[in-house]
Structure 1
Amino acid sequence: MPAHESPELVDLFTAYTAGPDSIGAHLRASAARTRAGDPLLVVTGADMALYPGDGGPPTVLPYRLSNRGFKELAAVSHLGTALASLIELRHREPDGTWRRDADRLLHHVRRARAANSTALWRDRIAAISYRGREADIAAMIDYACAITERYLVRALADPSLLDHRTLRETYLDDGHHELPVSFNRIMVATFFLVGLDTSHRLITWLDDQGIDWTRTMVVVVGRIGRPTAGVTWRTNGVAGMVLAASRGELPLDRLYIAPHAAGFATPVDGDLREVRAVEGQLRQLWAGTRVTVELGAAMFEGYPAFCPGDADLGRDGQTVTRAADVVSEQPLIRAVDDWLTLITRLRLVMEDPRQLLSGAVTDYAAQQLIAHANDPRAVTVPGLDNEPYPAHGTAHAAA
């Protein structure tokens, strides 16, 4: 049987928050109009677009497609994980199917080692940020392939070597007498080289734009990396690059990450029609988020404020005891009548764009259910239970 909805109460809900004619929609549109002249920097998983404001044409950098050497370096970075995965397959699939994967990996390692050279990195991949290091990169990749080939050959001959401890002690970790360089160090080097190249190109491009970071609206949209990655300031690598490129001039609270928002496809042959078409909705996304943050500060003045970042104050589990405190994560609710914390959480979910607006006390409700054998009747509902509400129908009508 479908859940019943009261039309009258649903209409009250939509009057503020749903539909193009709601109060919330009007406020977001108004906020976007007041910021129409501000620069807007939009980052997707593949591109970066700068909208200068006031209808000026956007400029686009396809930073992923122009990445030189990414797949080649990532191929080497993944060798350690590939070997660890073979170990797992051997233990999980005792029928020996791991051997086909091991043989195929060995084949490709040998082909990659034969194709690798200083000339490949200097003359064909030719990443500007790798200039002067091409011989060193080629030597590192040759070494990585060589030690991986040796491990695979030995493991195929003696499958008992396909063991996580053996992999750590003879391949991954420092201290093995046969290896001058552990593979863990190679993983760090390859990841760093990719970050070095991407950051160099982004910083160069952003410097060329002459951006006023104090006025710029920055939003990272869509998926970047694996599905669970990059949804916070500290875990989104591209956001970190933009913050670094601003040389500290971009306030953290002007950078929003919207993993569920749609951006635009990489322009083909300089066609920017799609990039232009989404500017309005992306401006409204940023401005609408910002105006909710500002509402939180206005509505809950006198309660601890949200402080973006990884500040010591406001870490998860902290208790707040005074209005002068700041929080960067949900503070710990000490009791059902801990109103300073309960209302501080209302302010936090509005000011912190990472939070779900309805999630101010959801975790506390779940904790209380666990503490009371999952019996909702045994839980005290703050703000409802034991409050002196007049009986239904006897409350004073609004003037």
Structure 2
Amino acid sequence: MVANESPELVRLYTTYTAGPDAIGRSLGRAVADRDRDAPLIAATSTDIALYPGTGRPPSVEGFRKSTRGFKELAAVSHLGPALATLVTVRAMGDGSWRPDAERLLAEVKAARTANSVELWRDTIAVEAYRGREQAIADMIDYCCAVTARYLTTALADEDHLTAETLRADYLEGGPVPVNHVMIATFFLVGLDIGHRVTRWFRSQDVDWARAMVVIAGQQGRATAGVTWNTSSVATMILGASGHRLPLERMYLAPHAPTFASPTGGDLSEVSALEPHLRAIWAGTRATVELGEVMFDGYPRFAPGAVAFPDVGDPGVTEVSEMPVIHSADDMRAMVTRLRVVLEDPRQLLSGCVTDFAVASLAAAGNDPARVTVPGLTGVRYPTDL
């Protein structure tokens, strides 16, 4: 016992709260036993595991880095921030921007050469992109071309490398603004992930009213995705459930353990985590359920939908949440979201339009071919630059 503590009161504290056999933990174990046959869904930053309950083996669906096309589209999504980074580094007087620009230019040219409709149709071959391969290849060819042109100009005249020219000549200018390319690439990733996860959940016949959901570990940057309305993984699961999952049964646990993406069909690591993840959910739920026992008659907490601000009015200059997207043509809202995910440390960078993609899929009966892809559908990308 340390100085300045009362051993009797500390023992009283550990009796309920902190000891391995604490009364509070007993309640958590009782809740876990009560719900042992309920489905548990555990999502990491790359995979979703479904534990059916009563000791039955889990199944896993990967949805991000291990999936086809993600890295290729992300590479194009990142070209805008890459050029903005070079602009910023140069403005700081750091000469490292030049070798970085030369390296980026070489990789952009190589990527443009490798890009083709055959690559997207026959090699990457994403089911959700079927029928769009030519449009995707044209978009990437165009984006690589205008990126190479901007870099070449900047390397010849470094005074061209400014925030003003980046916006006017690249992000917002040209036959098609690169801002629209970034929206299209982010949307395509969300379209593919949403389509596969929705189909997978439908095949599992999840009892959503009883489902226990834990979103485990770090999602994106260290400060991001820790609330319902800033987690694109939460958005995806809610959308895939057809919004049948009660929001109050989903817990975000950034400090919970995670499993590595399974390889070769080995689910041993995934299975080993089930008791611990169930304990996390049950322990959290146990505290929640005390509210009704202790404070019946007082207003209860009810998680509500986030209020999305509307940026349709040009006079709106600031937002504190992601703005509402009215349609696939609402580029002001979607490009504003690109800015928000950079400036708001709570947001996942890749999640700027995931909710819109999932909602669009739901409206189309999970048929990607019926979804309008903003920045791609009906857009002609020049390929002769």
| TM-score bin, normalised by smaller chain | 0.7 to 0.9
Stretch moving more, 265-274 or 228-237:
265-274
Q: Distance in 2 between matches of 1:160 and 1:146?
A: 21
Q: Distance in 2 between matches of 1:119 and 1:171?
A: 27
Q: Distance in 2 between matches of 1:154 and 1:64?
A: 35
Identity of aligned residues (%): 58
Q: Distance in 2 between matches of 1:297 and 1:184?
A: 49
Displacement of 1:64: 2.9
Question: 1:170 aligns to what?
Answer: 169
Q: Which amino acid aligns with 2:219?
A: I
Displacement of 1:266: 2.1
Structure 1 residue 236 corresponds to structure 2 residue 231 = yes
Q: Which amino acid aligns with 1:44?
A: T
Q: Which runs of 5+ in 1 are unaligned?
A: 313-399
Q: Distance in 2 between matches of 1:105 and 1:311?
A: 39
Question: 1:52 aligns to what?
Answer: 52
Instruction: Determine if contact 1:231/1:259 at 8 Å carries over to the other structure.
Output: yes
Secondary structure of the residue aligned to 2:25 is: helix
Question: 1:288 aligns to what?
Answer: 283
Secondary structure of the residue aligned to 1:219 is: strand
1:267-287 per-residue CA deviation (whole Å, 9 max, x = no partner) reads 232222222222111111111
Alignment of 1:301-380 (within 5 A): 301-310=296-305
Question: 1:97 aligns to what?
Answer: 96
**TM-score (norm: length of structure 1):** 0.74
Displacement of 1:310: 3.4
**TM-score (norm: length of structure 2):** 0.76
Q: Give the 3 Å change call, closer, same or farther, for CA 3–165 of structure 1 in structure 2.
A: farther
Secondary structure of the residue aligned to 1:181 is: coil
Q: Which amino acid aligns with 1:134?
A: E
Question: 1:214 aligns to what?
Answer: 209
Instruction: Determine if contact 1:219/1:258 at 8 Å carries over to the other structure.
Output: yes
Secondary structure of the residue aligned to 1:198 is: helix
Alignment of 1:374-393 (within 5 A): none
1:316-371 per-residue CA deviation (whole Å, 9 max, x = no partner) reads xxxxxxxxxxxxxxxxxxxxxxxxxxxxxxxxxxxxxxxxxxxxxxxxxxxxxxxx
Alignment of 1:32-111 (within 5 A): 32-64=32-64, 66-92=66-92, 94-111=93-110
1:165-220 per-residue CA deviation (whole Å, 9 max, x = no partner) reads 221111112xx3xx111010000000001111111111111111011111111111
Instruction: Determine if contact 2:46/2:66 at 8 Å carries over to the other structure.
Output: no
Alignment of 1:74-153 (within 5 A): 74-92=74-92, 94-153=93-152
Structure 1 residue 197 corresponds to structure 2 residue 196 = no
User: Residue 269 of structure 2 is aligned with which of 266, 274, 281?
Assistant: 274
Instruction: Determine if contact 1:67/1:197 at 8 Å carries over to the other structure.
Output: no
Q: Which amino acid aligns with 2:73?
A: L
Alignment of 1:4-19 (within 5 A): 4-19=4-19
Q: Give the 3 Å change call, closer, same or farther, for CA 278–11 of structure 1 in structure 2.
A: same
User: Residue 176 of structure 2 is aligned with which of 170, 181, 186?
Assistant: 181
Q: Give the 3 Å change call, closer, same or farther, for CA 261–95 of structure 1 in structure 2.
A: closer
Q: Which amino acid aligns with 2:148?
A: E
Q: Which amino acid aligns with 2:205?
A: G
Q: Which amino acid aligns with 1:111?
A: A
Q: Distance in 2 between matches of 1:259 and 1:154?
A: 44
Q: Which amino acid aligns with 1:30?
A: A
Q: Which runs of 5+ in 2 are unaligned?
A: 308-385
Displacement of 1:66: 4.2
Stretch moving more, 82-91 or 10-19:
10-19
Q: Distance in 1 between matches of 2:158 and 2:5?
A: 62
Displacement of 1:301: 2.5
Secondary structure of the residue aligned to 1:278 is: helix
Q: Distance in 2 between matches of 1:198 and 1:129?
A: 9
Instruction: Determine if contact 2:143/2:178 at 8 Å carries over to the other structure.
Output: yes
Q: Distance in 2 between matches of 1:122 and 1:4?
A: 71
Higher normalized contact order (CA 8 Å, seq sep 6+, divided by chain length): 2
Q: Distance in 2 between matches of 1:4 and 1:60?
A: 51
Q: Give the 3 Å change call, closer, same or farther, for CA 49–311 of structure 1 in structure 2.
A: closer
Instruction: Determine if contact 1:77/1:190 at 8 Å carries over to the other structure.
Output: yes
Q: Which amino acid aligns with 1:138?
A: A
Displacement of 1:300: 2.3
Q: Which amino acid aligns with 1:229?
A: A
Alignment of 1:17-36 (within 5 A): 17-36=17-36
Q: Distance in 1 between matches of 2:243 and 2:29?
A: 30
1:116-151 per-residue CA deviation (whole Å, 9 max, x = no partner) reads 010110010001111100010000000001111111
Asked which structure has the greater CA Rg, the reply is 1
Which contiguous aligned blocks of 4+ residues in structure 1 show a shift greater than 4 angstroms?
none
Question: 2:260 aligns to what?
Answer: 265
Q: Distance in 2 between matches of 1:79 and 1:272?
A: 36
* Number of equivalences: 306
Q: Which amino acid aligns with 2:81?
A: T
Q: Which amino acid aligns with 1:233?
A: W
